[in-house]
Structure 1
């Protein structure tokens, strides 16, 4: 049995039942009002809002690049240590807990929520950008050279490998452990109980949860907006459909409608089903590229990228004396801030589905397995794109015009272009649906004070709000409004870096407490 903490706080004790919802006061109201204020202000003054938030983002990245880099490195080392330390034997939910989902479904859900859509968007665009010096090259590698191609793949893998998954793992394991082993609410504030005890339930805890809601909602709405642009660009590329605001907003409405149905059905009947569909379709697309693409080159790229990733892990993780400033700030620090801003959403969702796993099993699955899958995916799509560029094949050989078209331009040079590109568009949309409904479940839990099963109207409310925010900003302010939203989400990553570092300390203290009290070890 789990050894719970001695606290007088009960899940839902500050909640108010209104409008068929179970509302945590003041987190729900403050979060909702801030979202409305941001959306209205951004639509009214999109250019000014983008300037303000771009300034805040630039200030955070340029002045605290060292903090983002140090923090991300700490998270990787911390997670790897948890695999080998004695606390790795601790089981989430107690010694008698059993997993709620099969290993395959569990992995499909955490991968789809974590970065499935990002891999669709950037697996071609990112290595192409580095190789052609679209916005800086990693470690100042010479563009359009064999060395530049190798570094392009190494840097892409660096941004999608151990570091982002370690960020997610810290949050996910903290929330799962304190909720299922210590009897605390499934919400961000619970991770601070070992450090500040019942102070977690006061203003400090409310502040952390509000920031988590905003980071999650802004991050999801940004991705939904950019994803709609990618899907619309693909439909225009394939079928000549207008690539305008009307098409993009229509896609958002469609995605949100299906996401609402999914959140009503819950984890088992909605998110799990869609995630399994996601991974099956992604597997088919990957297999197709492996078979009809430059197969030998792909596997050679996988091998050289794996070795190059390990070889350049420390140089790319370094923050002292970097000379590749455009790449370092424009890509790496930006990515770390972005992953951290997404960590409340992805972390809490992974926590919800991970009861019954040991710490060692959890870290291995969340950190190492996705990294290996990502390596194969990047080698297939990025390696194929670079092969085409180096052999002057297709549109990408002329440079990267629009990142949302890069995947389709690469597929255009393979057989069955129309069918496979349509599959890619469909996969983008389904990935967005799973991100939207899993994000809605997360925000729903936070704004209900950590309850796992808040009322259905509350789930619908947040799923609709995500779509409304993305659609309204896209319709009312276009690219400037979406850019402002993205900049706001990244700015949130700065204070949350400190939150995650504190989480590492609190989590280790909690795991040691559990190991000694439950496993009887000294």
Structure 2
């Protein structure tokens, strides 16, 4: 542990302190964290909508500008991973387990209980359910990840800076980023990463437990979830030991293979024509209403405004809070690609996969709901398995889904230990195994303790609240990056004319 920085110890103390609070007094912890989160949502909802739209516009500008030709690295650098592996790795880290958890639950919820504007259980509610789900998991979400990843990759591989959030701000603040201010920024990034992954481990354990409960009648109990967390911890520790080019690479490819098989099987065995028609219709509605939806706050309609705060603002804050982890990991695996190639891949491919996924599982769930199975009333972790019970080979698909949850589970935790190792060893691209193991154990322990005490939701609230200060850091990163980018471009022109 000789290589660890003060960021390691400071963040560990903060997270353990919050977890201890959540364990000993979960009710008060959740009340306080909910109050903070609600205040931020109500008073800064407009701000979240504006900055996320700004991030997307900035990414689109870079794709079509002359800057798109600039490489994330030196002139002779080649991509470390093939396109399929690269897509699999960024998708597994960025969205994987969330798609499995919410693939049925979110569209069914928007259809049956929480439509944005239409009456529940109507044809308009079906259209809205897919459209808003596409909106929340589409190019806006990936633009947030892309901004962080792009800036980090640019400074890491083109300017040989350490893989730290603070290092990307040196063009603005200079050597001050190597002192206390820089450490503070990195602490925020590490805090968001460990809390985000701990909550994901908790939710992943509950969904596997939910599947076992629905299919086999096994108790939905803490001891089952603890066993699941222990098994996954051992597996991702083994994967972490093998390194980035083996463990995460192979698991990510396996994830995409299993996910593809599950997706194709559901399209064929489910309401195929209904899925394809709805997918086509929802894509059209999504692109048609992007400008209005991006800035919709409905200040003169209290119900619609509350829906936006509960869903859109929540998601934007959630993705921002997750962006240090996902962005740093995507940056690490993207060396050698041009800015245009990088942004096109990060924005388009995962978004398209998400659209097809949600249309397939969401419409299958809505079809089952219309057929009399009340999926909307079930716990979210059981929605997927309830939908499978209504189509042929449902048991086999449920087993396959639990396997997929497990592999996504392992990949997310493995990726997180790598990122946490980087961030707490001064940006090392190959962090020591002891540091990764320490973070891996901490993540699992925090998830287990908070599942036991019921403090997981409160920790999620704390994570979303942390998105506000980190969003200011993101804006500074964009400005710093653009400043460095224009300077590099000017120097290239001078060299050509000299």
Shorter-chain TM-score range? over 0.9
Query: Could you tell me which residue of structure 2 aligns to residue 491 of structure 1?
Result: 465
Asked if 2 retains the 8 angstrom alpha-carbon contact of 1:21 and 1:458, the reply is no
Q: Displacement of 1:387 after TM fit?
A: 2.2
Query: Could you tell me which residue of structure 1 aligns to residue 278 of structure 2?
Result: 301
Length, aligned pairs only: 493
Query: Could you tell me which residue of structure 2 aligns to residue 22 of structure 1?
Result: 3
Query: Could you tell me which residue of structure 2 aligns to residue 292 of structure 1?
Result: 269
Mapping of 1:214-225 within 5 angstroms? 214-225=191-202
Mapping of 1:267-282 within 5 angstroms? 267-282=244-259
Q: Does 1:463 align with 2:463?
A: no
Q: Displacement of 1:515 after TM fit?
A: 2.7
Change (3 A) 1:273 1:52: same
Asked if 1 retains the 8 angstrom alpha-carbon contact of 2:30 and 2:458, the reply is yes
Give deviations 1:295-336, integer Å, cap 9, x for gaps. Answer: 111111111111010122122212443431232111110110
Give deviations 1:53-106, integer Å, cap 9, x for gaps. Answer: 111111111111111111111111111111001110010112111011111101
Q: With structure 2 as the length reference, what TM-score do the two structures score?
A: 0.97
Q: Displacement of 1:518 after TM fit?
A: 4.3
Q: Displacement of 1:393 after TM fit?
A: 4.0
Asked if 1 retains the 8 angstrom alpha-carbon contact of 2:297 and 2:305, the reply is no
Mapping of 1:73-472 within 5 angstroms? 73-133=53-113, 136-138=114-116, 140-322=117-299, 323=301, 324-390=304-370, 392-396=371-375, 399-472=376-449
Query: Could you tell me which residue of structure 2 aligns to residue 509 of structure 1?
Result: 483
Q: Does 1:68 align with 2:48?
A: yes
The root-mean-square deviation of aligned C-alpha atoms, in Å, is: 1.3
Asked if 2 retains the 8 angstrom alpha-carbon contact of 1:43 and 1:473, the reply is yes
Asked if 2 retains the 8 angstrom alpha-carbon contact of 1:21 and 1:455, the reply is no
Classify the secondary structure of the residue corresponding to 1:394: coil
Distance 1:291 1:319 in 2: 36
Classify the secondary structure of the residue corresponding to 2:337: coil
Q: Displacement of 1:521 after TM fit?
A: 6.8
Q: Does 1:49 align with 2:49?
A: no
Question: After alignment, is 163-172 or 247-256 more displaced?
Answer: 247-256
Q: Which runs of 4+ in 1 moved over 3 A?
A: 319-322, 518-522
- Which blocks of at least 5 consecutive residues in structure 2 are unaligned? none
Distance 2:390 2:298 in 1: 41
Distance 1:513 1:440 in 2: 35
Q: Displacement of 1:240 after TM fit?
A: 1.4
Distance 1:413 1:261 in 2: 37
Q: Displacement of 1:490 after TM fit?
A: 0.3
Question: After alignment, is 320-329 or 343-352 more displaced?
Answer: 320-329
Give deviations 1:204-258, integer Å, cap 9, x for gaps. Answer: 1111100111100001000110111111010111111111000011111111111
Q: With structure 1 as the length reference, what TM-score do the two structures score?
A: 0.92
Distance 1:237 1:514 in 2: 57
Asked if 1 retains the 8 angstrom alpha-carbon contact of 2:248 and 2:411, the reply is yes
Question: After alignment, is 147-156 or 34-43 more displaced?
Answer: 34-43
Give deviations 1:373-423, integer Å, cap 9, x for gaps. Answer: 111111111121122223x24342xx3321111111111111111111011
- Which blocks of at least 5 consecutive residues in structure 1 are unaligned? 1-19
